[in-house]
Structure 1
Amino acid sequence: MRYRIEGTLGAIEVSLPTMDELVTEQPFALVDTWRQAARACVLGEHDFTNGVGYGRLSESQCLTVIKDAADVVRALVSLDRRYANIPGWHPLKDPGRLGRVAETCATWAGYWEPDYTVDLRGWRPEPTLIEGPGLPGITGVLQAQHNLLIHLGTFPTANNLRVVLDSQRIVSRETAHGLQPFDPTLAARWERRAETYGRLVHETRDLGGMVGNGGPAAGQGSIAAVRMEKLARDAITDPAQSRRLQRVSAGIDERICNVIERGVAQRLYFQRINVPGLNDHNGELVRVTRQKFVPITSPVQTDLLAIVRNDLRPTPIRRKAPKGATQSRLDFEAALHHRPPPRGASPDVPSI
């Protein structure tokens, strides 16, 4: 199908629509419908480099994308045949072959169950920092946590990573204390998060690594911890604010898991160990045990990776397809197979 589409586009003698034509509403409903279809195709092509390419989608999502593309091509061929006699119309090259290959792709991809959660993938605006002075109350903590999540996009050094881990331990502990009188179940979750980060701080006490930066992330983490400690016990009783704090903290957990996994896999983080054996006396009054840094994946490894993989990493969210995703495709399929009744026939009389 891609070969046929490329051949069709190469044979077009007129210029493709400009961006202004794609976004400008047309006065005729039929033309505007096809304008929206063309705009959707352009956005879909743009999304392939932003999370919708092969290797990033499941097999069901890939088949759903293939069927959607094939249905759009079938609709284009149908449009070309319907308006071929209009003066000035530019017909497609080999519409019969293009229509047959699109029909084959749509039929083959339709054998499997579709996954319309692919509609949630694609380009999204990049989150930006919340600049300005510190906001009051729990909003200021959310501001610092949000900025911390963005700054964690830069790989941190081992020292800065420890600062971030300790800041999340403090934030979780204070949140658990504040929620205890109002929601003991939610407070227990925050208590477990604080305990997990406490264990991570303990396991990373001998972690070394100079690659990266992470200074802004460490600074925002410290600000979040200080602001949370200064809050009153009843400052986080608002359910909406509590959900926002959970959401941004879950994003921080996932980002920290990815940072540690990357640091271990690419040998950017090392574990400090004591070198066994006798130490040579160099004449000093105090004998210092020799130490060296080894990869975390060596036989001398800690529980760091186990804590990250089993306790810290949040449970993957099972996303639901957007509302109307199924119905819109059914309506589009019905429009492809629609045959108008003959002239003069009653609308209630079926026609072949």
Structure 2
Amino acid sequence: MYAENGGHLRAELSTLLRQHRVQQRLGGAGSHSIPETTSVHERRLLGEQIGRYRHSGLVWCVQAVRAANPRMNLQGTSTRTRGPAEELRYRLDVAIAHSSGLPGLDELTSEQPFAMVESWRQIARAATLGEHDFDAGLGYGRLSQVQCMTLLKDASDVARGLVGLDRRYSNIPGWQPLKDAGWLARAAETCATFAGYDEPDYTIDLRGWQPRRTLVEGPGLPGLTGVLQAQHNLLVHLGEFPDARSLRLVLDSQRIVSRDAATLDPRASAEWTDRASTYLRLIHATHDIGGMVGNGGPAAGQAALAASRIEQFSRAVLAGTAAAESGAIRHLAQLGREIDERIAQVIQQGAREQIYFARVPFPRVDKDAAGLVKPTRQRYVPMTADVCQELLELVRDQLRPEAELPRAPKRAAASRVELAAALVHRPEPRRAQAGPAM
């Protein structure tokens, strides 16, 4: 997620910007009380390694700028014709072209003995992991204009920090400075000012790559935790499209879960009761729905476990041998909203792609049916608004949860404020030595 990767990158960069006396931090000579522990050649190798870590940060910056402003071709342009974002991207491309290259996998995964080099490794690691965010919801076209400006401001501040550290590390033996560092610093400062005119939208931190849900394996957990386990596994199995019969079993399980959860959560009893009523109406509306495509067996099994476990837990609560924790109840409500969203997607997909069909009576007698009493004929037709109006309206208006306004993570603003303070940080002046007493 962008919040995690971007936050780690800014935190480690802030740490480095507050560090001075670089040679001593690499084992170089300091005052008479700090002996030299590394040779010039060893510090040269450390400087080259830091340069490779820095290259990862530069690549992350240029990818962020491209995601915020994806103008493809900058050939034939000049400083006068390029905008702030385009100028920053151009200067980053120049710096990357003359940089030392990316670090190897061993350098990214092996902890470094020097704290300063370890901070650089964490920057490179966060930048490398952050590259996946731009292909998972953080690209241009998926962001609002304000979010694009927020991303551009983040990239500009990181670039400013890298330029500042480049100047500070100039005394490292064999240090390779950034190409046209002055132009890059000017472009980053201009772009940061340009992108910082409007109020930022830190909900961008909610975007980016996220790991897929996995099953909670093992034996059934006790109490309400076991219900959460079954609901979680149900949500995972609903990633595979269920057949119509399994879908009805899932609907009935959610009715039971909602009915019993209303007794466990008095504060949200009305919401749980409404959810149970909605699922009861869905069960009636899907009575004549058929479809054999899909594999809903695993989902139906977990749904049955969730229903049986919450019934057992409710009886234990009424008997006074168990109690429901508020945190677990909130987690159950969150899982319920996600299951509602997924079931709504399944039903709408089944109607749109003609995977589910509605059984409609045909005004003729089925002469081929067994038995003396012949029923009327029936046929299955695609689910349309004319045939399944009640079901589709239930899914659209009542089952699908209302979209909640996204809220930025708690540390979203704090990490950026810390980096802004570190960019203007200056070391404290040395204390004046006390003279002889007069």
TM-score computed with the length of structure 2 as normaliser:
0.67
Contact 1:236 1:242 in 2 (8 A): no
Q: CA deviation at 1:22?
A: 3.5
| Runs of 5+ unmatched residues, structure 2 | 1-87, 433-438
1:349 aligns to what? none
**Deviations 1:258-286, CA, capped at 9 Å, x for gaps:** 222332333332333234xx638858765
Within the candidate set 194, 201, 207, 2:283 is matched to 201
1:103 aligns to what? 189
Distance 1:321 1:19, change over 3 A: farther
Report 1:120-199 matches (<5 A): 120-176=206-262, 178-179=263-264, 184-199=266-281
Q: CA deviation at 1:17?
A: 2.0
Within the candidate set 171, 177, 180, 1:94 is matched to 180
Distance 1:338 1:238, change over 3 A: closer
Distance 1:128 1:100, change over 3 A: same
Q: Are 1:11 and 2:98 an aligned pair? A: yes
Q: CA deviation at 1:32?
A: 4.2
1:304 aligns to what? 391
Q: What is the DSSP-based 3-state SS (H/G/I as helix, E as strand, rest coil) of the residue aligned with 1:112?
A: coil
Q: Which amino acid aligns with 1:245?
A: L
1:279 aligns to what? 364
2:151 aligns to what? 65
1:245 aligns to what? 332
| Runs of 5+ unmatched residues, structure 1 | 347-352
Distance 1:304 1:335, change over 3 A: same
Contact 1:64 1:114 in 2 (8 A): yes
Q: CA deviation at 1:148?
A: 0.7
Distance in 1 between the 2:348 and 2:323 partners? 32
- Structure 1 window deviating more from structure 2 (316-325 vs 68-77): it is 316-325
Q: Are 1:225 and 2:307 an aligned pair? A: yes
Q: Are 1:324 and 2:385 an aligned pair? A: no
**Deviations 1:180-203, CA, capped at 9 Å, x for gaps:** xxx544333221111010011111
Q: CA deviation at 1:28?
A: 4.9
Contact 1:156 1:211 in 2 (8 A): yes
Distance 1:283 1:210, change over 3 A: closer
Q: What is the DSSP-based 3-state SS (H/G/I as helix, E as strand, rest coil) of the residue aligned with 1:127?
A: coil
Q: CA deviation at 1:218?
A: 0.8
| Alignment RMSD | 3.1
1:44 aligns to what? 130
Q: CA deviation at 1:168?
A: 0.7
Q: Which amino acid aligns with 2:327?
A: A
Distance in 2 between the 1:155 and 1:283 partners? 34
1:350 aligns to what? none
Distance in 2 between the 1:269 and 1:96 partners? 64
Distance 1:280 1:148, change over 3 A: closer
**Deviations 1:80-129, CA, capped at 9 Å, x for gaps:** 34444644121323334433443343233222221223334334443322
Distance 1:228 1:59, change over 3 A: same
Q: Which amino acid aligns with 2:329?
A: S
Distance in 2 between the 1:344 and 1:129 partners? 58
Distance 1:186 1:54, change over 3 A: same
Identity %: 57
TM-score computed with the length of structure 1 as normaliser:
0.82
Q: What is the DSSP-based 3-state SS (H/G/I as helix, E as strand, rest coil) of the residue aligned with 1:293?
A: strand
Contact 2:366 2:376 in 1 (8 A): no
Distance in 2 between the 1:97 and 1:288 partners? 84
Q: CA deviation at 1:27?
A: 5.2
- Structure 1 window deviating more from structure 2 (138-147 vs 78-87): it is 78-87
Q: What is the DSSP-based 3-state SS (H/G/I as helix, E as strand, rest coil) of the residue aligned with 1:297?
A: coil
Distance 1:171 1:340, change over 3 A: closer
Distance in 2 between the 1:104 and 1:297 partners? 55
* Count of equivalent residues: 338
Q: What is the DSSP-based 3-state SS (H/G/I as helix, E as strand, rest coil) of the residue aligned with 2:376?
A: coil
Contact 1:166 1:198 in 2 (8 A): yes
Contact 1:203 1:302 in 2 (8 A): no
Q: CA deviation at 1:4?
A: 4.1
Distance in 2 between the 1:225 and 1:345 partners? 71
Q: Which amino acid aligns with 1:326?
A: A
Distance 1:158 1:3, change over 3 A: farther
Q: What is the DSSP-based 3-state SS (H/G/I as helix, E as strand, rest coil) of the residue aligned with 1:321?
A: coil
2:3 aligns to what? none
